[in-house]
A and B are shown apart, each in its own frame.
Chain A
C-alpha cells in the first residue's frame, strides 16, 4: 500500500484527540496515511486553510459546514462532514459572583432546567455569554436552552465570540459574565480562579454532534482513496479513545507542546468525565461528557445536520425547509458507510433518526445485526422529527 500524505488542520482542544491519536498511535499509518497535523489559532483560520487548500481535512465545529451550505459565514467552496469526530464535550460556566447566585437560586450541575432558570433569575441585566464561534454547537445549545426556558434568545441575551484560549481572560476582564466552551478551556477558567462550571453541554442535549471531520466537497468527490482511509483511521482512533484504559496515554499525548501544551491532568478530566467545577475542588462525574465512539457516536446522522440547519435558519430568518434540506446533504452518511463497511464497524440501518426520542440505550437494526444507540433526549423532552418538518 503506497503511503499518502495529508495535511489536517486542528484547534488545540481535547476533542481534536481522534486526529492526534490517529497520527501518534499509528492508526493513520496502518491505513497507509501520513498525516501532517497543522495547529491553527482560530476557527476562521482552520476554515480558510481548508477552503483554500492549505489542508485537505480539518477538525471543525459541526455547524460550520452547514452554515456554509445555507449561505452563511463567508463564500468559497462547500464542505462535507464525512464523519462526526466527537459527541458532547462542552461546558457552561460563569464568573464567581454569578455562579454563587446561580447556586443560591437552585442551580444543579445535573439539571439543565434548574440551572437555566437559576441563571436567568440571577442575571442582573442582559446576560453576556462567550462562545468560541458564531457557528458552533456552543451557540446553538445556549440559544435552544435559554429560549426553551423563556429567555428569548438571541434577542434578550448577548452572545459574544471569544476564542477558547482567551475565555478565562475575558471572564477576568469582565467582558462576559458566562461562557460555553469546549474542554479544557472551562477547566482552565476554574484553575485560574476566575470561574466555576455550572452545567455540561450534555445536560441540554444528551447526544449532540460537536466536532466533525470536514473536507472540501470537491476533494471528497475526487479523492476517494485518501478520504476512505482517513475516515477509517479516525474511526479506529475514536474506538481506542473510548477505552478507559487509554485515557492516561491520550492525556499525555495531547498535553505535548505541539498539541495542547497544557497539563495532562487538566486534559484527563474531560476524557474521564470527572470535572472539577469550583476552585474549592468540588468534583462532578458526567456520563458521556465527551464521546468518541460508543453508540455510533461518529456516524454523521443526517437528522443531526437537519436540526442544526433548522436552528440556524430560524435564527437568521432564512427559509427553514430549504436550510434543512441543504444541511442534510452536508453530513455524508454515504461516504462514511463506504469507508467503514468491512472495517468491523457496525453501521446503523437508517441514516436519519428522530432526534430526542431515545431516553435509554436502545438496540436498533444495523447492517450486521443490532447496534445499541445511546440516549439522545433534549432537556425539555422535545423531539425533532425530520418527517414532520417536511
Chain B
C-alpha cells in the first residue's frame, strides 16, 4: 500500500494545470491527476478517490464537489473546506490566491500545507501575470493617445515633437493630471471640433 497522497487538480486550462502540477511535484512526492472536463465532475473524482481535490475558487463547478463531501458520510469524517479552522491565516491566504482545497478524507493539516503552499504560489503567479498583461495593454493604449495628441499639437501650433510633449507634460503638471488624461481630453475635443 502506497503512502503517497493522491491529489486531483480540477483545471480546464492546460498550461495552468501543467504549472500547478510542476509546483506540486517540486513540493513533494504526490500522486497527481488532472481533470479538465466539467461534465460529471463529481463522478470522475469519486472514481479516483483522492485525498485532496484542488480547484480554483472562481470555478463554477465547485458546487459539484459539495456532493462528495456529504457522500462520504456526514459527521463521520472531518470533511472540511480548506484546512481546519485553526489554520485561519492559511485559509484566508488560499481565498485571496483563488485556490480552494477539498479534503476528501480525514487528513492532518501539516500534510496539506506544502500542497496548498505550492498551489497558492502558482495561482498567485498567474494573477500577477494577468495584472501585468493588463498594465502593459493600458500603457500601449496611453502611448497611442499621447502620440495622437502630440501630432495634433505639432500641426496646430507648428511646433516640434519634443515641444509638443513638453507642452502636454506642463499642462498635466499644472492641472495635477496624468499626461495620458490631458492627451485623451485633447484628442476627444479635436474629434468634436473636426
By a beta-carbon cutoff of 8 Å, the part of chain A in contact with chain B is: 41-45, 48-49, 51-54, 71-76, 132-135, 160-163, 165-166, 169-170, 173, 175, 316, 318
Whether the Cβ atoms of A74 and B59 lie closer than 8 Å is no
- A73 / chain B contacts, CB cutoff of 8 Å: 66, 69-70
Q: Assuming A41-B59, A163-B64, what are 4 further A-B pairs, CB within 8 angstroms?
A: A43-B63, A160-B42, A163-B61, A166-B60
CB-nearest residue of chain B relative to A166? Answer: B60
Q: Is B142 an interface residue, CB under 8 A from the partner?
A: no
List 21 A-B pairs, Cβ < 8 Å: A42-B60, A42-B62, A43-B66, A44-B63, A45-B57, A48-B95, A52-B91, A52-B95, A71-B75, A72-B70, A74-B79, A76-B81, A76-B85, A133-B66, A135-B66, A161-B66, A163-B61, A163-B64, A316-B70, A316-B74, A318-B74
Whether the Cβ atoms of A44 and B62 lie closer than 8 Å is yes
- A48 / chain B contacts, CB cutoff of 8 Å: 57, 81-82, 95, 100
CA distance A41 to B100 in the complex (A): 13
CA distance A41 to B74 in the complex (A): 25
CB-nearest residue of chain B relative to A317? Answer: B74
Q: Is B137 an interface residue, CB under 8 A from the partner?
A: no
CB-nearest residue of chain A relative to B56? Answer: A41
Main secondary structure, interface of A, reads: loop
Q: Is B84 an interface residue, CB under 8 A from the partner?
A: yes
Whether the Cβ atoms of B80 and A75 lie closer than 8 Å is yes
Whether the Cβ atoms of A72 and B74 lie closer than 8 Å is yes
Whether the Cβ atoms of B40 and A175 lie closer than 8 Å is yes
Chain B: interface size category? 20 to 34
CA distance A248 to B84 in the complex (A): 46
Smallest CB separation, A169 vs chain B (Å): 8
Q: Is B65 an interface residue, CB under 8 A from the partner?
A: yes
Q: Is B67 an interface residue, CB under 8 A from the partner?
A: yes
Indicate with 1 or 0, residue by residue over B82-120, a CB within 8 angstroms of chain A CB atoms: 101100100110010000100000000000000000000
- A41 / chain B contacts, CB cutoff of 8 Å: 58-60, 62
Q: Is B176 an interface residue, CB under 8 A from the partner?
A: no
Q: Is B3 an interface residue, CB under 8 A from the partner?
A: no
Scoring B40, B64, B75, B91 by chain A CB atoms within 10 A of each residue's CB, the highest score goes to B64
Whether the Cβ atoms of A74 and B67 lie closer than 8 Å is no
Whether the Cβ atoms of A42 and B81 lie closer than 8 Å is no
- B42 / chain A contacts, CB cutoff of 8 Å: 160-161
- A169 / chain B contacts, CB cutoff of 8 Å: 39
CA distance A45 to B82 in the complex (A): 12
Whether the Cβ atoms of A134 and B70 lie closer than 8 Å is yes
CA distance A133 to B63 in the complex (A): 6
- B74 / chain A contacts, CB cutoff of 8 Å: 71-72, 316, 318
- B62 / chain A contacts, CB cutoff of 8 Å: 41-42, 44-45, 163
CA distance A166 to B38 in the complex (A): 10
CA distance A312 to B6 in the complex (A): 32
- B88 / chain A contacts, CB cutoff of 8 Å: 52
Whether the Cβ atoms of B85 and A44 lie closer than 8 Å is no
Smallest CB separation, B36 vs chain A (Å): 15
Whether the Cβ atoms of B85 and A134 lie closer than 8 Å is no
Smallest CB separation, A313 vs chain B (Å): 10
Whether the Cβ atoms of A162 and B57 lie closer than 8 Å is no
CA distance A2 to B46 in the complex (A): 52
Whether the Cβ atoms of A175 and B70 lie closer than 8 Å is no
Smallest CB separation, B11 vs chain A (Å): 15
- B61 / chain A contacts, CB cutoff of 8 Å: 42, 163, 166
CB-nearest residue of chain A relative to B63? Answer: A42
CA distance A49 to B96 in the complex (A): 10
CB-nearest residue of chain B relative to A47? Answer: B81
Whether the Cβ atoms of B59 and A42 lie closer than 8 Å is yes
CB-nearest residue of chain B relative to A45? Answer: B57
Scoring B63, B64, B95 by chain A CB atoms within 10 A of each residue's CB, the highest score goes to B63
Whether the Cβ atoms of B95 and A49 lie closer than 8 Å is yes
Scoring B57, B78, B88 by chain A CB atoms within 10 A of each residue's CB, the highest score goes to B57
CA distance A133 to B67 in the complex (A): 8
Smallest CB separation, A77 vs chain B (Å): 8
